[in-house]
Amino acid sequence: MFLAGVPVKSSVVLELATRVKDPELARRLEQAVKRDLIVVRIHAHERADLLKALDDAPAGLEAVRDALVEAQARQKRDEPAAENAA
């Protein structure tokens, strides 16, 4: 399965689901594993919760944390440009 564009084992996604605070996000992660989905989209508003859950990332999730940090930095860089365009 791909999470934030990174290949991750299903067992690791289930571990992550137990660490996030948002019950809806946890449910989505669990359902993705149950349905054997290939890609799980992470919404911008879910990044902070995932990053907090990944503070002491278990093996297999370091790359996911890195991808989320990069996506968050990219979004912050792009926000001023989007505001100026409006």
DSSP-H helix ranges across 1-86: 10-19, 23-34, 47-53, 62-85
Kindly report the pTM of this predicted structure. Answer: 0.74
Dihedral angle over CA of 60, 34, 49, 63, nearest 10: 20
Domain ranges in the chain? 2-85
Top-confidence range, 13-17, 68-72, 82-86: 13-17
Confidence class for position 85, pLDDT limits 50, 70, 90 = low
pLDDT at residue 22 in the model: 93
Strand partners, 3: 6, 40
Lowest mean pLDDT among 25-29, 36-40, 50-54, 62-66: 62-66
Nearest to 49 by CA among 13, 75, 25, 78: 25
Per the structure block, which two tokens stand in for 75?
């979004």
pLDDT of residue 83: 53
